[in-house]
Amino acid sequence: MPLTTKSGNPITIGVGTGSAVKLVKREDPTNAEKQQVIIDIVKNALDIGYNHIDSAEVYLTQPEVGKAIKGREREDLFITTKYAISSTFITKESFTPEEFAKQTFKELGTDYIDLFLIHFPADDYVQTWKDVIKLRDEGLVRYIGVSNFKPEEIEKLIEFEIPLVNQIEYYWGIDKPKVLDFHKKHNILIEAYSPLKPIKDPELIKLAEDANISPAQYLLKHLLDNGILPVTTSFQKEKLLDSFKVHNL
């Protein structure tokens, strides 16, 4: 993997604060008990050994991530966030990548972002990409990339700079050879969200049994073996631990 923490450590699979986690916050943003649920997910993951945390503007979970990492060695962590050019899910506070970077610093209690992604290719995403490049050049973020971009959309960015990462929905059983070939050709790392989506598939369960590993481990290992970095999550610490064990397979 081309990404490391600022201290130089390789990054683990990611623990996400989106999917069902973000709904906990959106349902009642001021509810302290629900906020604590999110904090505990991140703390549990860090205690297990995860060093890679995934968040986003539209998840509304950055303040909880900030509380979860408080007291930890920042340079040993790798934090990703995603900027929404526009959104129907939240009331935006920031309307440029620079404004959102500053919002993120405040919410996380940090002075840099490890990986800054454009969440969706909305509106004038080419100009937004130029603004994100500037953030990196100014030292506010370490790595830059995109999320949910199709190859033809990335093509429009390449003349300015090739994104290092594209975070997309990807999992065992999806047949997207053209997508894989495009990313490999341009040396773009695919980060996969929803990597456990097929976890109840009977064929998958049989393959995992034959390999003597859990279905989650089989799904995550399949991605890692193909050079794809998964981002997963769970409300249950034992499931986070089960997934993390993929690093020892």
Residues ≥6 apart with Cβ < 8 Å to 152: none
Question: What's the CA gap between 74 and 110, in Å, rounded?
Answer: 8
Digit-coded pLDDT (tens) for 54-79: 999 999 999 999 999 999 999 999 99
Residue whose structure tokens are 């369960």: 205
Average pLDDT, the chain: 95
Q: 163, exposed or middle or buried, with CB in 10 Å at 0-12, 13-18, 19+?
A: buried
From 59, 170, 171, 218, active-site residue:
59
Helix 202-211 with 215-225: angle, nearest 10 deg: 80
Exposure string over 119-150, b if 16+ CB within 10 A, otherwise e: bbbeeebeebbeebbebbeeebbbbbbbbbbe
Distance from chain centroid for Cα 176:
20
Domain residues of the chain, as ranges? Answer: 14-248
- How much is the pLDDT for 39? 96
- How much is the pLDDT for 74? 97
What is the average per-residue pLDDT within 141-165?
97
| Side-chain half-sphere CA neighbours of 26 within 13 A | 15
* Residue 26: band (very low, low, confident or very high) from pLDDT cuts 50, 70, 90: confident
Class for the domain spanning 14-248:
alpha beta
* 83 a catalytic residue: no
- How much is the pLDDT for 24? 86
pTM of the model: 0.95
183 assigned to a ligand binding site: no
Q: Is 202 helix (H, G, I), strand (E, B) or coil?
A: helix
What are the two backbone dihedrals, phi and then psi, of residue 144, each rounded to the nearest 5 degrees?
Answer: -135, 150
* Token pair of 171 as six digits: 């999992």
- How much is the pLDDT for 1? 52
E strands present in the chain: 14-16, 52-54, 78-83, 113-118, 141-147, 165-169, 189-193, 229-232
What is the average per-residue pLDDT within 186-215?
97
Instruction: Give me the residues paired with residue 117 across strands.
Output: 82, 145
Amino acid at 105: F
What is the average per-residue pLDDT within 211-217?
97
* Residue 20: band (very low, low, confident or very high) from pLDDT cuts 50, 70, 90: confident
- How much is the pLDDT for 230? 98
* Residue 206: band (very low, low, confident or very high) from pLDDT cuts 50, 70, 90: very high
- How much is the pLDDT for 86? 87
Residue of 144, 126, 128 whose CA lies nearest to 136: 144
What is the average per-residue pLDDT within 87-102?
90
What is the average per-residue pLDDT within 201-217?
97
Are 46 and 19 in contact, with CB atoms under 8 Å apart?
no
Question: What's the CA gap between 19 and 59, in Å, rounded?
Answer: 9
Amino acid at 217: Q
